[in-house]
Amino acid sequence: MSDREPASWHGTTILTVRKGGKVVIGGDGQVSIGQTVIKHNAKKVRPIGKSGVIAGFAGATADAFTLFERLEAKLDQYPGQLMRACVELAKDWRTDKYLRRLEAMMIVADRTTSLVVTGTGDVLEPEGGVAGIGSGGNYALSAAKALLDTDKDAEAIVRKAMAIAAEICIYTNDKLTLEILDAE
């Protein structure tokens, strides 16, 4: 890496599982710059306002908080309509000169819907109620899909899948933050 090239931030595994009347979003706590772990217990999963929505982010922290604030405003504008709020956010994200530069992805969920929202304008509802994003997202996603047909509940699946991702991905640790909602 040259002296002029900024160190790149790595880290984050976010996973959501919808099963048995619950939806769970879990995120690890590791934040790294280059080859150095800067923080072990970052909170990358949280409720959004008082709207009954939970969310997790992968990417630049300040960018994610900007997106959380924008999503909260959209949810205020379209109460109870998570899909519409996310589509409107994705439109803004794609077309607004400032927002276009934000580098983050989000998983958001309410009682009925789970979505992955990206800066490329994607608002995707995952098949089977399972989605993973971030550096270890594919590892956690694979593990969760393998555990779906077991007797484990959504929380146990997220915990086990995230533990597996932490064993494989060097940018993922086992310091989890979970948010849980009762689903319909």
* Residue 125 in domain: yes
What residues are annotated to the active site? 12
CA distances from 91 to 75, 88, 103, 176 (A): 14, 5, 15, 31
Domain that holds residue 35: 9-182
CATH code where residue 46 lies:
3.60.20.10
pLDDT tens for the chain, residues 1 to 184? 444 444 444 568 999 999 999 999 999 999 888 788 888 998 999 999 787 999 999 877 777 788 889 899 999 999 999 999 999 998 887 777 666 666 778 999 999 999 999 877 889 999 999 999 999 999 999 999 999 999 999 999 999 999 999 999 999 999 999 999 998 7
Q: Read off the pTM.
A: 0.91
Give the total residue count for the chain: 184
Please check whether residue 2 lies inside any domain of the structure.
no
Strands (E), 20-149: 22-27, 31-33, 36-39, 45-48, 53-59, 104-109, 114-118, 123-124, 130-134
Whether 157 is in a domain gets the answer yes
- What's the structural domain count of the chain? 1
